[in-house]
Amino acid sequence: MAVKKLLIVGGGSAGWMAAAYLDAALNRGGRRTVDISLVESPDVPRIGVGEATVPSINHILAVIGIDEIEFLKRVDGTFKQAIKYVNWLDGQSDAYYHPFNRFQSSPVDRTGRKWLMSDRSIPFAATVSAQPVICEHNLAPRMAGHWDFGPPLVYAYHMNALRFADYLCELATARGVQHYLDHVVAVDMAENGDIAAVMTKGGKRLEADLFVDCTGFTSLLMEKELDVGWVDCSQWLLCDRATTMHVPYDHHYPGYVRPYTTATALSAGWVWEIPLQDKRSLGYVHSSAFLSDEDAEREVRAFEGQHAESLDSRIVHFKVGHREKAWVRNCVAIGLSGGFIEPLESTGLYLSDLASLMLAEHFPYHDDTTPLALRFNRIMANRFYEILDFINMHYCLTRRTDTDFWREVRRPERMTDRLRAKLDYWRIKAPSVADFEDQWFPGQTESPLPSGGLPGDHRSSIDTASIFGIDSYEAILYGMDFLAAECDDWFGKDRPATRVAKTIADRLALAPRKLPPHDLWLQRVLGMPDYPVASGSKV
Ligand SMILES: Cc1cc2nc3c(=O)[nH]c(=O)nc-3n(C[C@H](O)[C@H](O)[C@H](O)COP(=O)(O)OP(=O)(O)OC[C@H]3O[C@@H](n4cnc5c(N)ncnc54)[C@H](O)[C@@H]3O)c2cc1C
């Protein structure tokens, strides 16, 4: 088989994840099947946001062969065991967790139903996972020494995304990926309509069999050259800006490093709080239709407190949607050039990761690439809509009416038809594992994908629950008090007290002795400095 030439254009997290992963997956064991090159512009900065991940990141790290401790050191990484949602329900200091770990009593899990039949006096997530309490105590999901705390806790990471891209670049180039630091100024098309080569400012002509467009929202190849349209999804997710800010620990250290991401709802969106080893990152994701840039900045500073007044902030514009097709002719879009959903569940890097995996699996070694592209596009579209529905749900279930933004997100037309079908169905029958076999619900339209799909592809996107299954849905649904009225009807108002599973109670009794505080673990194992605690901190 002839060695194929692959050129990745763009060197943000998406470009370098694709380069490192494809090299590891396709050129393993010294057998080189693909020559991989990456060209990135020294003039166009990477977007540089994207600090929180989901546990599937561990797979890509393992395939690339990255040691966890080395990785954490290189990217200023910390652990993430959950997302804590604050003020999403009523805006009155309400809070709930979406943890990564979930205790299952049996393969046909009844814990959700049991909770619904109880008086709901303990938050749902705390009855099925030890992580909400572990998070509240700021404990690490790892021990400093040998692990003897039962089954491992599932976790992901917070990290500096710029340093992650640099680290992957170093690894990939050491293994043979060719790196050009040059600005692409033109694209040379072949007679058959494929891309033949890209031309750079430095005078190079870079040819390849397959091109990967990782140029971020610019989408240099897919949009500008191949004219592949963008499917806008902003009617379901209204936010289009993030006001970001870093709070260095030597400026203000609150006295702990939270082992989770916090997402606090504000007046026209929500703010992320992501702790790294040297700082906390904040980003107010908001809708420019409801809040000016100036007011967003004022609000995020007030949220953080007086010490934020002297800190720089930055506005990042984004758009929610996806490329009509992610793979067209001999070009595949990965990362922001292929699509983006706002970062409420930290799925940006995940989608780049998935696209890299799928490209490796569907790699076009032979001439007929159409079936491969069809499958790739279908898988990516399915997953995009699966995430879109899930994030849409966080907004649609709010009871907030305090601002125009929150009143707007509650309007029926702001809910996707797939999500509406799910919620309607679950109001008749509480969610259970079986609903995630194939999420085709009564009432769902049979229209094709918004992209129209390729010939023969005339089904709506299918939610395969590959990223958000029953565990995740129940965490959000019950965190947002879903089925409260229905439970009164179904099971009466006088219900037994909620109980925490014994396995979880036993684990929590041991946790303080076994699991060190997160900041202490980072100091001991990674060498994070022991910062003095700021006076008047929010501890
Ligand atoms: C507000 C916000 C918050 C986010 N938070 C998260 C999060 O918490 N978790 C998460 O997983 N994801 C998050 N993301 C998504 C994440 O940032 C992106 O998925 C990720 O950084 C990938 O970006 P990228 O590589 O596609 O684009 P970029 O980082 O923009 O990289 C584009 C690359 O293309 C190059 N380029 C552009 N033009 C040319 C040219 N003419 N010639 C050569 N090279 C060129 C640039 O130099 C650069 O290297 C967030 C995104 C946003 C907008």
Look up the pTM and report it: 0.95
Say if ligand 1 is within 6 A of residue 435 CB. Answer: no
Q: Which atom of ligand 1 is nearest to the CA of 46?
A: 29
* pLDDT given at position 440: 65
Whole-number Å distance, alpha carbon 455 to ligand 1 midpoint, is: 32
Query: Distances from the Cα of 390 to the Cαs of 141, 286, 463, in angstroms?
Result: 26, 18, 10
Whole-number Å distance, alpha carbon 48 to ligand 1 midpoint, is: 7
Say if ligand 1 is within 6 A of residue 520 CB. Answer: no
Can you spell out the DSSP letters for 334-394? -GGGTEE--GGG--HHHHHHHHHHHHHHT---SS--HHHHHHHHHHHHHHHHHHHHHHHHH
Say if ligand 1 is within 6 A of residue 254 CB. Answer: no
Instruction: Tell me which residue has its CA closest to atom 14 in ligand 1.
Output: 50
Q: Which residues of 375-384 are buried (b: 16+ CB within 10 A; e: fewer)?
A: bbbbbbbbbb
The mean pLDDT value of the chain amounts to 93
Say if ligand 1 is within 6 A of residue 199 CB. Answer: no
Say if ligand 1 is within 6 A of residue 183 CB. Answer: yes
Say if ligand 1 is within 6 A of residue 318 CB. Answer: yes
Read off φ and ψ for residue 9, nearest 5 degrees: -105, 115
Regions in the chain scoring below 70 on pLDDT: 1-3, 438-461, 537-539
What percentage of the chain exceeds 90 in pLDDT?
86
DSSP label at residue 139: B
Query: Distances from the Cα of 199 to the Cαs of 11, 147, 206, 208, 455, in angstroms?
Result: 16, 53, 6, 12, 34
Pocket residue to mutate for ligand 1, from 51, 221, 349, most atoms within 8 A of Cβ:
349
Whole-number Å distance, alpha carbon 140 to ligand 1 midpoint, is: 29
Instruction: Tell me which residue has its CA closest to atom 7 in ligand 1.
Output: 50
Q: What is the pLDDT of residues 35-93, one digit of tens each?
A: 999 999 999 999 988 799 999 999 999 999 999 999 999 999 999 999 999 999 999 99
Can you spell out the DSSP letters for 69-123? HHHHHHTT-EEE-EEEEESSSSSSS-EEEEES----SSSS--HHHHHHHS---S-
* pLDDT given at position 197: 98
Residue in 5, 73, 80, 538 annotated catalytic:
80
Matching residue, tokens 């907030």: 400
3-class DSSP assignment, residue 46: coil
Matching residue, tokens 């700082």: 279
* pLDDT given at position 37: 98
What does the CA dihedral 124, 125, 126, 131 come to, rounded to 10 degrees? Answer: 180
Instruction: Tell me which residue has its CA closest to atom 35 in ligand 1.
Output: 10
The amino acid at residue 448 is P
Alpha carbon 391 to its chain's center:
10
Q: What is the pLDDT of residues 480-502, one digit of tens each?
A: 999 999 999 999 999 999 999 89
Residues 6 or more apart whose Cβ sits within 8 Å of residue 368: none
Q: Are 445 and 460 in contact (CB under 8 A)?
A: yes
As a whole number of angstroms, the distance between CA 222 and CA 218 comes to: 9
- Annotated active-site residue 80? The verdict is yes
* pLDDT given at position 439: 63
Q: Are 79 and 141 in contact (CB under 8 A)?
A: yes
Helix 57-64 × helix 13-26 angle, to 10°? 50
Say if ligand 1 is within 6 A of residue 52 CB. Answer: yes
Can you spell out the DSSP letters for 283-343? EEEE-TTTS-HHHHHHHHHHHH-GGGTTS-EEEEE---EEES-SEETTEEE-GGGTEE--G
